[in-house]
Amino acid sequence: MKLTDNVLRSFRVAKVFRENSDKINCFDFSPNGETVISSSDDDSIVLYDCQEGKPKRTLYSKKYGVDLIRYTHAANTVVYSSNKIDDTIRYLSLHDNKYIRYFPGHTKRVVALSMSPVDDTFISGSLDKTIRLWDLRSPNCQGLMHLQGKPVCSFDPEGLIFAAGVNSEMVKLYDLRSFDKHAVSNAVGPFATFKMQYDRTCEWTGLKFSNDGKLILISTNGGFIRLIDAFKGAVLHTFGGYNNSKAVTLEASFTPDSQFIMIGSEDGKIHVWNGESGMKVAVLDGKHTGPITCLQFNPKFMTFASACSNMAFWLPTIDD
C-alpha cells in the first residue's frame, strides 16, 4: 500500500494507551517497526508491541528521570538522557533492566540525541553549547564541538554526515570521517553552512533528515516548521497554520517515503503537508487531551503513533 493524500486523510486512532501520568517526552520505533519505546516525565519507560497493539513492559528511571530515548542497533537496548540530577547519557539493556554503560561529559541538560543509522556511533547536543560524538563501546567522548548557542543535531540516513542547527539560525553539515580523526578538537569545520532568516519569536527544537537524504526538516517551538534542501540549504517550504501558542516543543516528522511532513499541535490535531507541493493535505483529530509532543511514522508498517500523556496508534481506513 502506497501513501497518498487520500490514504493519509483516512488515518484514524485505532488504540489509545493511558500508561503514563505525565507528558510523554519522546518515543522511538525499533528499526524493524515491531515495537515502540517511550520515555515520560513521570520517569517511566514503556515498551509497546506494534503488531499486537499493546503495552509489553514498563521500566522506571526514578532517580535520573528519562528523556530522548533512542533504540540502538542491538535488539533490546536503548540510550537516553536524564532530566534530573545529572546530564549523563545512559545505555540500558531492556532485557534485564541493567545499565551497560554511562556517557558522562555534558554539564547541562541534553536537548538532542541521535543514533547513527549504520553503526554504534551517536551524537548528543546540550544546553552547555557543545555537541559530542560517542561510540556505544566506550564511555569516553569521541569528538567534541563548541558552539555559540543551543544545538539541535541529527545524522543523515547513510550515517556519513550529521547536521547541527545552531542558535536557531544556521545549519552546519559535518563529515563524520574527518570529524573522527580530529577527535575532541575543533580542527575540522563544517563542509557546508546554511544561514536562515533568524526569527526571534521562537527557537529551533529539532532537526531531521528525510529517508532519501534530500531534505532537512527544522522544528521550532513557534507556529511554523521549515523544510530545506539538504544540499543547497534553500528553504523549500515553511509550514504553519497549527496551534502552538505556549511555545511547546512539538515533534515534526517525515513519512518513511520522504513525501509528507506531519506535526501535532497543542489542540490535539495533526497537520500533514505534501513536501513537494507544500500543500496541506490533511488535518487529523487525535482527541489528545494535551499538546501532541511526539509524532512519528512506523519505519516498516502503515501506521504512526502520536503522544501527549497518552499514546495513540493510528491506522488507515481505506486502501487506495
Is the pLDDT reported for residue 318 higher than 90?
A: no
pLDDT value for 84: 85
Mean pLDDT in residue range 247-276: 95
Other Cβ atoms closer than 10 A to 314: 21
pLDDT in tens, 137-174: 999 998 888 888 889 999 999 999 999 998 899 999 99
- How far, in Å, are 18, 43, 203, 253, 307 from residue 23 at the CA level? 11, 10, 21, 19, 8
pLDDT value for 188: 66
pLDDT in tens, 203-246: 999 999 999 999 999 999 999 999 999 999 999 999 999 989 99
Which one, of 82, 64, 73, 104, lies nearest residue 26 by Cα?
Answer: 82
Give the CA angle between residues 44, 47, 52 to the nearest 5°. Answer: 145
pLDDT in tens, 17-55: 999 999 999 999 999 999 999 999 999 999 999 999 999
pLDDT in tens, 263-300: 999 999 999 999 999 999 999 998 898 999 999 999 99
pLDDT value for 63: 87
pLDDT in tens, 92-125: 999 999 999 999 999 999 999 999 999 999 999 9
pLDDT value for 183: 47
Mean pLDDT in residue range 180-200: 72
User: Is 0.95 surpassed by the pTM of this model?
Assistant: no
Measured distance CA(53)–CA(187) in Å, rounded:
48
Residue 265 belongs to domain spanning: 5-316
Is the pLDDT reported for residue 185 higher than 60?
A: no
pLDDT in tens, 65-85: 899 999 998 879 999 998 888
Q: How far is CA 250 from the centre of its chain?
A: 10
Is the pLDDT reported for residue 305 higher than 80?
A: yes
Query: What burial class does residue 245 get, using C-beta atoms within 10 Å of its C-beta: 0-12 exposed, 13-18 middle, 19+ buried?
Result: exposed
Long-range CB contacts (within 8 A, 24+) of 139-148 = 139/101, 139/102, 139/103, 139/104, 141/103, 141/105, 141/184, 142/180, 142/183, 142/184, 143/179, 143/180, 143/182, 143/183, 143/184, 144/105, 144/183, 144/184, 144/185, 144/186, 145/174, 145/186, 146/186
**How many H helices and E strands in the chain?**
2, 28
Q: What percent of the chain has pLDDT over 70?
A: 97
Structural domains of the chain, count: 1
Give alpha helix (H) positions in the chain: 5-9, 176-181
> Looking at residue 71, which CATH number applies to its domain?
2.130.10.10
Sign of CA dihedral 57, 16, 225, 257: positive
Mean pLDDT of the chain: 92
